[in-house]
Amino acid sequence: MGTRRTSLPGVGTQYDFTTDEGRHISVVVHHDGRRFLGFYDADDPDACRLEVPLSSDEATALAHLIDPAPIDAVRTDGIDLVTEHIPVGARSPYAGLLLAETQARTRTGASIVAVLRRTAAHPSPGPDFRFAIGDTLVAVGTREGVDALAEIIAGG
C-alpha cells in the first residue's frame, strides 16, 4: 500500500493511493472545496477509468462510511478549518531543524498543533522543538494554508 500527495498549482492537491493489490485511486481536493474521486486502469496507471465528483457533504458522508470517526473540518465564523497530518520525509529541508525555523504560521497562517513521533506524541510543540525524519506534523488552518505548509515541509 502506498500513498502520494501532489500539489496542483492553481487547482489544489491530489492524493494518490495504491492498494496492496496494485489498484490506483486518487482524490483531487480543489482550493474551493470540490473533490473528485478517480479510479485508474490497472494496465495503465495514468488512464483514469472513472471520475466521480463529490460535494463537501458527499465527501464527508463517504469518509464516515469508510471510517466512522474521522477528524472533521471545523467551522468557525464561516471559515473552514482543516486538520491534516503532514509527514517530515528524508527530503524535507526542515528535518533536523527547529519549528521556529519553518516560520509556518507567519508564512501560511496554519499552525502545527502536535508532532507525532514513533516513540511519543508531542502536543503544542514550542518554537525550540526539533523535527526528525519520520515525524508527522498535525496542522490546523485553512485548506490553502495547510496545503502551503505541506509544500514547505516537503521542500516545494
pLDDT of residue 152: 92
Q: How many domains does the chain have?
A: 2
Do 150 and 86 lie in one domain? The reply is yes
Maximum separation of any 2 CA atoms in the chain, in Å: 48
Query: Which CATH number does the domain housing residue 91 bear?
Result: 3.30.70.1450
pLDDT of residue 84: 86
Do 78 and 27 lie in one domain? The reply is no
Q: Show Cβ contacts of residue 48 under 8 Å, excluding neighbours closer than 6 positions.
A: 26, 38, 39, 40, 41
78 to 49, 73, 88: CA distances (angstroms): 36, 12, 31
pLDDT of residue 58: 80
How far apart, in whole angstroms, are the C-alpha atoms of residue 91 and residue 115? Answer: 18
Do 101 and 46 lie in one domain? The reply is no
Range of the domain at 132: 74-154
Task: pLDDT band for 61, please (50, 70, 90 cuts).
Answer: confident
pLDDT of residue 69: 55
- Which of 66, 91, 118 is the endpoint of a domain? 66
The pLDDT of residue 110 is above 60: yes
- Which of 12, 36, 66 is the endpoint of a domain? 66
First to last CA, the chain: 24
The pLDDT of residue 114 is above 90: yes
Do 22 and 60 lie in one domain? The reply is yes
